[in-house]
Amino acid sequence: MKLVILAMSCNLPFFVKEEEIVKETWGKDIVENKYEDVSLYFLKSDENERIEGNYIYVNSGDDILHTMQKTMKGIHMLLDNGIEFDFLIRTNLSTYLNIDVIRQFIYGDMLPNYQDWSGTLFTSEVVSTGKKYGPRGNFLFTNRGIINSILYLYDKYYTDTVGLDDAIIGDMLYPAVMLREVYHGEMFKDVRYHKDCYIDNIEDIDPMFFFISFRYFASSMLMGYDTREQIEFETCRQIDKFIRSHKQSS
């Protein structure tokens, strides 16, 4: 089975630095081709649409309100260039993915035709229809069948829609969300995640987590750093060190 990860980025200097941290930590083994079944692409904006190594450039707005357009164009770029997948994760650069645990989950518990589309849900007023459900943009986990449905709906009805991809996809698939309590709980009962967590002690992290969104952390005084960049980058490095040491000892 093939997993493709799209990591949402943009052209601001901070995000360029975040890309390097990803390639230094959880993305390192992927970009060094240590997994035959996992690929990672950073999704960015540029008038010259192309795929270069681990980068996909699409002609879209570079701000948060154009993430739907950027994500859909990125997926089209994958398929138009013959890059096939069974599963796709759309994440961001302030999220640490635990690749080995995700692979164990896919191979142990999921089939390519299983109809699910997100590891977690949020409730938010941001969803344009007022139906307060949607997948979380830091870990939008889905399969090829659902991607085909999303692309069809986007190309037919949503190409002119400006907004956040997680919110708009929540609108698209709202009927499926209503059925989610029926089938989601059992399949994802073992999914562990740390959402927007305050990381005071790395050792308290569950090593079997799927992802950690570390956009918010312990205070800069507690961490010993005084800028968001320093806190975020060092947090990611510390999580990676913890996970790699756990792998070696297990």
- CATH of residue 76: 3.90.550
Which residues face 41 on adjacent strands?
A: 6
- On whether residue 205 sits in a domain, the answer given is no
> What is the distance between the alpha carbons of residues 51 and 57, in angstroms, rounded to a whole number?
6
pLDDT at 29 over 90: yes
Predicted TM-score (pTM) of this structure: 0.82
- On whether residue 204 sits in a domain, the answer given is no
Work out the percent of the chain whose per-residue pLDDT is above 90. Answer: 37
pLDDT in tens, 154-190: 898 888 888 888 778 777 765 554 444 333 333 344 4
- On whether residue 145 sits in a domain, the answer given is yes
pLDDT in tens, 88-126: 999 999 888 999 988 887 887 555 444 444 444 444 333
> What is the distance between the alpha carbons of residues 28 and 51, in angstroms, rounded to a whole number?
19
- On whether residue 158 sits in a domain, the answer given is yes
- Full DSSP string of the chain: --EEEEEE--SSHHHHHHHHHHHHTTTHHHHTT--SSEEEEEEEE-SS-EEETTEEEESS--SGGGHHHHHHHHHHHHHHTT---SEEEEEETTEEE-HHHHHHHHHHH--TT-----S-EE--TTSTTS---EE-TTEEEEEHHHHHHHHHHIIIIITT--S-HHHHHHHHTHHHHHTHHHHHHHHTTT--EE-S---S-GGGS-TT-SEEE-SS-S-HHHHT--SHHHHHHHHHHHHHHHHHHHHHH-
In one-letter notation, the amino acid at residue 72 is M
Which pLDDT does position 44 carry in this prediction? 97
pLDDT band at 84 (very low <50, low <70, confident <90, very high): very high
Terminal alpha carbon distance of the chain: 25
pLDDT in tens, 200-250: 567 777 787 777 776 655 444 445 555 667 778 888 888 899 899 988 776
pLDDT band at 80 (very low <50, low <70, confident <90, very high): very high
Mean pLDDT within 29-54: 97
Mean pLDDT within 1-16: 94
- On whether residue 84 sits in a domain, the answer given is yes
Which pLDDT does position 163 carry in this prediction? 86
Range of the domain at 77: 3-190
Count structural domains, the chain.
Answer: 1
pLDDT at 136 over 50: yes
> What is the distance between the alpha carbons of residues 21 and 19, in angstroms, rounded to a whole number?
5
Which pLDDT does position 177 carry in this prediction? 46
Which pLDDT does position 216 carry in this prediction? 52
- On whether residue 41 sits in a domain, the answer given is yes
Decide: 169 and 134 in contact? Cβ < 8 Å. Answer: yes
- On whether residue 222 sits in a domain, the answer given is no
Give the range among 70-79, 148-157, 222-231 with minimum mean pLDDT: 222-231
- On whether residue 164 sits in a domain, the answer given is yes
